[in-house]
Chains A and B, each alone.
Chain A
Amino acid sequence: MTFPSRERVVSSGEPVVELRRVSLAFPTYRGRIEALGDVTLAVGAGEITGLVGESGCGKSVTSMSVIRLLPKGSAEVTAGSIRVLGHDVLAASEGEMEQVRGKLVSMVFQEPMNALNPTIRIGRQITQVIRRHERVSAAAAQARAERLLAEMQVPDARRVMGSFPFELSGGMRQRVLLAMAFSCDPAVLIADEPTTALDVTVQAQVLALLKSRAQERGTSVLFVTHDLAVVAQLCDRVYVMYAGHVVEEGPTTAVLRHPAHPYTQALLRSLPELGRPKEPLVAIGGTVPDLAHPPCGCAFQPRCAAAHARCHEAPPLLPVPEQAGQSAACWLLKEGRAADAPVAETGEAMAVAACPRAQPREPLLALEQVRVQFPIGFDWLGRARGHVHALNGVDLTLGAGETLGVVGESGCGKSTLGQVVARLLIPSGGTIRFAGIDLAALAPSALRRIRRRFQIVFQDPQASLDPRIPVWRAIIEPLAVAGRHPAAALKEKARALAREVQLREDQLERYPHEFSGGQRQRIAIARALAPGPDLIVLDEPTSALDVSVQAQILNLLLDLQRRLGLAYLFISHNVAVVRHVADRVAVMYLGQIVEIGGAADVLDRPAHPYTRALVAAVPKLAGAADSAPGLRSTELPSNVHLPQGCFFRTRCPFAAPGCEKPQPLLAAERSGARGGAEAHLVRCHRLGDLPRGLAARGPS
């Protein structure tokens, strides 16, 4: 059997990739995991097809099964057929598959850091693929690789060819991988979360690149992502997966505007950018089903408010009335009922009427010129070779009961800030006052006492819980270490805390690994609540969670804040999440606050060029996002050798002579200056004469 040339297939109008009723399972020690059930999917010639769903829904498994990348022993296709360019992939020999992979179908993965071989030069990794599939001379392959890199907007392609992967940034590596994927002009490109690991500004550029290169070559794309906003921006058609099943498919605009399946509807509603600020998000109750013991019938039924008797049977994909090409796997369609209504009710049932929160009072926390430096490496005499400047003079205040959101790209120092506030790092300079007390002046025992008033919740709830301690003991640990209490009292306290975070009390004897990510984060929150804090530092508390779970946790946090009067320092890279929860927002860049003020002022009317770029780069559901945020260089400058003058100068589209002067101080934003804690402050020389308008475009 030989696979046909791409030209013949593309002109035939047949789908280039076609999965028909594919079921796939992984045998494990917990039993068989039914990763895919009856998945039918097609990628049309020249189309960009999205495959969207939460982690664990089977979208990556689906994409990898197209070119049979799943290891033989561990994954078994139990039913169905997979065709690429009309030919059966499951029947092909390994040798034939080697000819398909990279030549007819190529693939780009999520982690650009590890996807390139660390010991082989970039050039050889690309030419190796070219020469594997085509009879060309070494020189010709070399020339083509260079041209491909240039097409992927890799500056100085010739030098990059001779580099090792570790010499390139994440964004550059992803471009190299794209060049590799396009190197043999494949008919199909499978992109599995290719930009998830990248910063939002780099993501926008890589996505734009991918789209234009695919369109130029007529390459079909299967784009796998968890991010509905990216789908909206990129894809012609979309498949929504849930628990190993396709629950809805159709043209992107139709599916996003008129979602027919209750799950798709719920997913869209749980996005922060669609909710109104400060109001609870519409969370999807319950969790993703355990695929080792899948539910009977519709997999979404246990979480669906519209579930009824019929749902115990698995629904087929049914056409959505009046929407051409859209179909959803839901019985409601069969019965002619609008699937919309019942789920909207759930949303309302879960939503607790939001009440206005207490106005910020005296600052609970005040940072003054806080600096943190880390020595990097030592020479053989033990002297530091240099320093990483993680925080460079941070001033901020946080009132009781208030939420201050901190946003910025990775490496901007926002997590360092969280650790300094939680006193897990001792600042190299500056002062931190908590409730008016200078923490540096306290004796160890006094510090231990005051620590109880500020707690921290980390990003990864799995790592922050000791796997060997049952949950109830983890929760009351802060109390147990503070003094002796009778076990019964501690257990009762643990139960009370569990109720507080809506954990089931009968599960408290279990160990952390028996819980899902969202539940573990609830446990971590309960533990942080145990000593009765006034302030909780939330360091990316929902970044490791799925969108629907994220919504639950955000709701929980808002609810706790309202009832307990907590102050939050909310650190996140996700602008939409911060916009949703924060009263005030601080934007960080290279260890400095470049803009701070009310959440609406900063994020809806950003003044600083960096904030503008950050906000513009966020993918939006409605309409195309600004794919060229106008940053001059996408990579963060080194924080070992800080730029002179304004730190942002090296990337700023508005940089002008004068910006290299000593760092500008926080200057009041003219339009919305109010003074006091609510002031909108911006760190920019050219604040007065910046062009207005949101989408700040620089000379690109």
Chain B
Amino acid sequence: MAATQKTALGESDPAASAAPGVGGIDWRYIRYRLRRSPLAMLGLAIIAFAAILILGAPWLAPYDPNRLDLLHRLAPPSLAHLFGTDEVGRDLLSRIIYGSRVSIPVGLAVVGISMGAGTVLGAFSGLVGGRTDTVIMRIMDVVLSFPSFVMAIALAAALGPDLVNAMLAIAIVRIPFYVRLARGQALALRERPYVKAAISFGARPLTIVRRHIVPNALAPIIVQSTLDIGGAILTASALSFIGLGAQQPTAEWGAMVSNGRDYLLDQWWYPTFPGLAILVTAVGFNLLGDGLRDIFDPRLRGR
């Protein structure tokens, strides 16, 4: 019941000086909230661990991920091969470590593309208003009405089975979410008294966008994109799983699960460990995103 406390204490309320949903970032407040959110800290730790894997793969991986060893095909987990080997004797642990260099950057790239394009388009649409805005938003309505995964399948199938194509397909269908978000922010900020004040002393529209709108609209967009990275990683691996993404011999987690599927009943470890890598990474981004949303969402503030 934060509202209770707020009215009761007026300006002494922590929320009053805390990070608002749209607006300034009080790092002290964010640290305070993150420290009290063990799940968000766990997410941060997972992401840090993944970053170490990506950067340190050549030193951390015990084997060359593409080295064939036909004598040790489908070996069960052992000290020599912690996660076992695949059907041509490649070390699964090494392939999973190297796989982080594929799956995670793909997720980041997907979100980067859709966020970048969507934010620019949305902010433009919201600020310009009028007919341009109407046309852009109606097109986005139509695109949003497409089931995104189905469209990604159709696009990826048409572009040809390839990881970059899969990435583009996922990114394109996610653009409208950011357009809506950024437009909403622009519209809300346009009505802020400090923007009106800027208009009243004659600031030009572009100055207002640069000084007031962009910095203040960023927080919710960053929260949304953090939440999206996990989803993008899942979708990319799903496309790889059905054969539309990464192709052999790329060490990609979804493709590894797909290959391992044929050996499921006798060599359970083969599909299990790559899938676990996807799960853990997605959990990491989702936990952090949840935590950030709790911090920035004014409706959830103070809880």
Q: Report A's interface with B, CB cutoff 8 A.
A: 26, 28-30, 33, 35, 55-56, 58, 60-61, 64, 69-71, 74-75, 110, 288, 290-292, 422-424, 447-449, 451-452, 454-456, 458, 460, 463-469, 477-478, 481-482, 511, 513-514, 516-517, 524, 527, 530-531
Stretch among B165-173, B179-187, B201-209, B250-258 lining the A interface = B201-209
0 or 1 for each of B187-204: is its CB under 8 Å from A? (1 = yes): 000001110111111111
What residues on A are CB-neighbors of B1 within 8 Å?
Answer: 70-71, 74
- Please measure, in the bound complex, the distance between the C-alpha atom of A291 and the C-alpha atom of B201, giving whole angstroms: 38
B7 close to chain A: CB less than 8 A: yes
B222 CB to nearest A CB, Å: 14
Task: Please name all residues of chain A whose beta carbon is closer than 8 Å to the beta carbon of B32 when the two chains form the complex.
Answer: 29
Looking across the interface, which residue of chain B has its beta carbon closest to that of A518? B11
Besides A61-B9, A463-B192, A466-B23, 20 other A-B contacts (C-beta < 8 A): A28-B13, A29-B14, A29-B29, A35-B12, A55-B10, A61-B8, A70-B1, A70-B5, A71-B4, A288-B11, A448-B204, A451-B200, A452-B201, A455-B201, A464-B192, A464-B194, A464-B196, A468-B23, A481-B201, A481-B204
- Known contacts A468-B24, A482-B202; is A56 also within 8 Å of B193 by CB? no
B200 and A422 contact, CB distance less than 8 A: yes
* A contact residues around B13 at 8 Å (CB): 28
B212 near A466 with CB under 8 A, answer yes
Whether the pair B200, A56 counts as a contact (CB closer than 8 A) is no
- Interface check B67, CB cutoff 8 A: no
A28 pairs with B14, CB closer than 8 A: yes
Bound CA–CA A456/B144 (angstroms): 41
Q: Is the CB of B197 within 8 A of A467?
A: no
**Which interface residue of B29, B192, B197 has the most chain A CB atoms within 10 A?**
B197
Q: Which residues does chain A contribute within 8 Å of B200, judged by CB atoms?
A: 422-424, 451, 454-456
Question: Which residues of B, 1-52, contact A by the 8 Å Cβ criterion?
Answer: 1, 4-5, 7-14, 16-17, 20, 23-26, 28-29, 32-33
Measured CA separation A290–B201 after assembly (Å): 34
| Residues of chain A with a CB closer than 8 A to B20's CB | 467
**What's the least CB distance linking A387 to chain B, in Å?**
19
Q: Choose one: A69, A451, A463, A513; the contact of B202 (CB below 8 Å).
A: A451
Given contacts A424-B196, A451-B200, A527-B197, contact A35 B9 (CB under 8 A): yes
- For A517, list chain B residues within 8 Å (CB): 11
CB-defined contacts of A70 to chain B, threshold 8 Å = 1, 4-5, 8
Beta-carbon contact of B24 and A511 below 8 Å = yes
* Residues of chain B contacted by A452 (CB below 8 angstroms): 201-202
Residues on B with C-beta less than 8 A from A75 are 5
Q: Which residues of B contact A524 (CB under 8 A)?
A: 197
- Rounded to whole Å, the gap between the CB of B195 and the closest CB of chain A is 8
Is residue B215 contacting chain A, with contact meaning CB distance below 8 A? yes
Judge whether A30 and B4 touch: CB under 8 Å: no
Known A423-B200, A481-B202; judge A290-B7 contact (CB<8 A): no
Measured between beta carbons, the chain A residues less than 8 angstroms from B203 are: 477, 481
Does the CB pair B4–A35 fall under 8 Å? no
A513 to B5, CA, bound (A): 18
Q: Is the CB–CB distance between A58 and B193 below 8 Å?
A: no
Q: Closest approach, in angstroms, between the C-beta of A481 and any C-beta of chain B? A: 4
Contact A69 B4 (CB under 8 A): yes
Q: Give the residue among A292, A424, A477 with the most B Cβ atoms within 10 A.
A: A477
Contact yes or no, A513 B193, CB < 8 A? no
Q: Are B17 and A513 in contact (CB under 8 A)?
A: yes
- In the A-B complex, the 6 residue pairs with the smallest Cβ-Cβ separation, listed nearest first, are A56-B10, A448-B202, A467-B24, A464-B193, A478-B201, A29-B32
What is the CA–CA distance of A477 and B208 in the complex, to the nearest angstrom? 11
In the bound complex, CA of A511 to CA of B16 (Å): 13
Residue of B nearest to A24 (CB): B8
Task: Confirm or deny: B125 has a beta carbon within 8 angstroms of a beta carbon on chain A.
Answer: no
Q: Select from chain B the residue with minimum beta-carbon distance to A511.
A: B24
Complex formed: what's the CA distance from A484 to B242 in Å? 59
A481's partner among B9, B26, B207 (CB-CB below 8 A) is B207
Which partner residue on chain A sits nearest B22 by CB separation? A467
Would B194 and A513 count as touching, CB distance under 8 A?
no
Question: Which of A26, A29, A455, A465 sits near B5, CB closer than 8 Å?
Answer: A26
Decide yes or no whether B240 CB sits under 8 A from chain A: no
Give the residues in chain B near A29, CB-CB below 8 Å: 14, 28-29, 32-33
**Shortest Cβ distance from A544 into chain B, in angstroms?**
11
Query: Which chain A positions have C-beta within 8 A of B8?
Result: 35, 58, 60-61, 64, 70
Classify chain B's interface size: 35 or more
For residue B202, which residue of chain A has the nearest CB? A448
Query: Most chain-B Cβ atoms within 10 A of its Cβ — which of A60, A467, A527?
Result: A467
Partner-A contacts on B (CB < 8 A) = 1, 4-5, 7-14, 16-17, 20, 23-26, 28-29, 32-33, 192-194, 196-204, 207, 211-212, 215-216
**Cα-based distance from A117 to B1 in the complex (angstroms):** 16
Hey, which chain A residues are within 8 Å of B201, CB to CB?
Answer: 451-452, 455, 477-478, 481-482, 530-531
Expressed in whole angstroms, the Cα–Cα distance for A180 and B134 within the complex equals: 47
Asked if residues B202 and A464 are in contact (CB atoms below 8 Å), the reply is: no
**A481 CA / B198 CA spacing, docked (Å):** 9
Chain A residue at minimum C-beta to C-beta distance from B2: A74
Say whether B197 contacts A56, CB under 8 Å: no
Report Cα–Cα, A469/B199, bound state, in Å: 17
CA distance A530 to B203 in the complex (A): 14
B12 touches A56 (CB 8 A): yes
Q: Which residue of A lies closest to B26 (CB)?
A: A513
Q: List 19 A-B contacts (CB under 8 A).
A: A35-B8, A55-B10, A55-B11, A56-B9, A58-B8, A61-B8, A61-B9, A69-B4, A71-B5, A448-B204, A452-B202, A458-B193, A463-B192, A465-B194, A468-B23, A478-B202, A481-B198, A481-B207, A513-B26
The residue that B199 contacts in the complex, of A424, A463, A466, A531, with Cβ under 8 A, is A424
Partner of B216, one of A61, A468, A478, A516: A468
Pairwise interchain contact A456-B197, C-beta atoms closer than 8 A:
yes
B4 x A458 contact (CB < 8 A):
no
Contact status A74-B5, CB under 8 Å: yes
- A60, B194: Cβ atoms under 8 Å? no
Residues of B within 8 A of A30 (CB): 14, 17
CB neighbours of B216 from chain A (8 A): 466-468
| A291 close to B194 (CB less than 8 A) | no
CB distance from A417 to the nearest CB of B (A): 15
- In the assembled complex, the Cα of A516 lies from the Cα of B12 at a distance in Å of 10
Which residues of B lie under 8 Å from residue A447 when comparing CB positions?
202
Q: Which of A292, A511, A530 contacts B12 (CB 8 A)?
A: A292
Q: Give the complex CA separation of A598 and B278 in angstroms.
A: 75
Complex formed: what's the CA distance from A477 to B193 in Å? 14
Shortest C-beta distance, A443 to chain B (Å), equals: 13
Q: Is the pair A463, B194 in contact by a Cβ cutoff of 8 Å?
A: yes
B132 to chain A, nearest CB (A): 15
- Using Cβ atoms and an 8 Å threshold, which residues of chain B touch A482? 201-202
Q: How far does the alpha carbon of A452 sit from the alpha carbon of B202 in the complex, in Å?
A: 7
The CA-CA distance from A467 to B1 in the complex, in Å, is 25
User: Bound state CA distance, A368 and B32, in angstroms?
Assistant: 55
A471 to B85, CA, bound (A): 62
Min CB gap A16→B, angstroms: 22
Chain B residues with Cβ under 8 A from A288's Cβ? Answer: 11
Cβ of A602 to closest chain B Cβ, rounded Å: 28
In contact, A477 and B198 (Cβ under 8 angstroms): yes
Q: Could you tell me the distance in whole angstroms from the C-beta of B186 to the nearest C-beta in chain A?
A: 15
CA distance A110 to B4 in the complex (A): 11
Contacts of A110 in B (CB 8 A): 7
- Chain B contacts for A469, CB-based, 8 A: 211
A291 touches B29 (CB 8 A): no
Which chain A positions have C-beta within 8 A of B9? 26, 33, 35, 56, 58, 61, 291
Residues of A within 8 A of B5 (CB): 26, 70-71, 74-75
Q: Is the CB of B12 within 8 A of A467?
A: no
Q: A402: shortest Cβ distance to chain B, in Å?
A: 21
Complex CA distance for A290 and B9, rounded to whole angstroms? 10
Chain B nearest CB, measured from A518 CB (Å) = 10
List, in ascending order, chain A residues with CB within 8 A of B24's CB: 466-468, 511, 513
Q: How far apart sit A279 and B33, CA to CA, in the bound complex (Å)? A: 48
C-alpha spacing A75/B2, complex, angstroms: 11
